[in-house]
Amino acid sequence: MQNQKSASAVQEGRRSALPQVTETRNPGTGLDMDWLGAVAVNTSAVERRAASLPARRSVKKEYQAAWLLKAVSCIDLTTLSGDDTPGRVRRLAMKARQPVRRDLLAALGMEGLTTGAVCVYHEMIAPALEALEGTAIPVAAVSTGFPAGLSPFRLRVEEIRESVAAGAREIDIVISRRHVLTGNWQELYDEVKTFREACGPAHMKAILATGELGSLRNVARASLVSMMAGADFIKTSTGKESVNATLPVSLVMIRMIREYHRRTGIRVGYKPAGGISRAKQALTYLTLIKEELGNEWLSPHLFRFGASSLLGDIERQLEHHVTGHYSASYRHAMG
């Protein structure tokens, strides 16, 4: 009976759990300094709201399984290590194609589930594309001198063009943190706009490196300027900072997305990255998105997790739901 209920819950959300392709882009707007100057953040209120989320009773049983499958579809399965090899990337791409064991998906009545994308360095685009051939899974490439963003500007722009030419359909750029820390919003706007133009048909995710921006108000302003300059997604972190995705930062960024949509009618995506490794955390982030932005954002074309180890824990939780037992982590390898 439990498996039948699980299958019913999963079947109901099957279409939304599968990868979705959209042509929607953020064309950007002019730099509105009046709007930017009016941005304010009540830090204590943000922290109270963020602290309330994990303390709530989470979804259980078949509904939890359905939400975890949704989370899988929104993962940018990532490897960004100095010792990456073509073989490692191919194995990761194969995991993206089949992120959850077939027997577990069969028990849940689910078919065709993949991750949202595979995210790699420029040098690893070719093996990723080779392993993903025949699927709709996009390759995302980090760019613009990732993670510091301090290489010469012309080289950062050219790196974007090279990755798009190599087949990347999504580009994760890093902003110059100094523009935020010094309040040089025109420079930040011009930089991100130039990156957006270099992306051409590829969707652009702007990484703010929020752990290095100094304040939640700076996070809010950097989010807004990046969206004005045409970012299709705003992303918390590179995963290389000492502080990466947090719930207070996420709440601030999500509310700026909501305000940008209210004023312009344009939907911009959100990607928390770094430090999200547990299924319970994924459920908290999905709850935050649903409550603050609505169901429209609960889709891979508007929400992604930047993660790798998260998938293993989700698969482990799904096995517990199906069998009643927790398995060893080695049974859910990334490749």
DSSP string, 146-187: TTTT-S-HHHHHHHHHHHHHHT-SEEEEE--HHHHHTT-HHH
Between CA 303 and CA 180 the distance in angstroms is: 24
Strands (E), the chain: 75-78, 117-120, 139-142, 170-174, 203-207, 233-235, 269-271, 305-307
Domain ranges of the chain: 2-18+31-325
Residue that is written with structure tokens 């979804």 in the block? 59
- Tell me which of 60 and 158 has the higher pLDDT: 158
Q: Is 61 a catalytic residue?
A: no
Which of 193, 232, 235, 313 is flagged as catalytic?
A: 235
Q: What is d(CA 251, CA 277) in angstroms, rounded to the nearest whole number?
A: 19
The pLDDT of residue 21 is above 50 = no
Catalytic residue among 95, 193, 271, 313: 271
- Could you confirm whether 235 is annotated as catalytic? yes
Catalytic residue list contains 271: yes
Whether 302 has a pLDDT exceeding 90, the answer reads yes
Task: Flag the least confident range among 17-21, 27-31, 107-111, 133-137.
Answer: 17-21
Q: Is the pLDDT of residue 19 over 60?
A: no
Task: Tell me the CATH class for 2-18+31-325.
Answer: alpha beta
pLDDT of residue 251: 98
Q: What are 157-192's pLDDT values in tens digits? A: 999 999 999 999 999 999 999 999 999 999 999 999
Residue 205 structure tokens: 């995710």
* Residue in 76, 172, 232, 313 annotated catalytic: 172
**What does the pLDDT average to over 1-16?**
47
Above 80 in pLDDT, residue 24?
no
Q: Which residues partner with 305 through β-bridges? A: 75
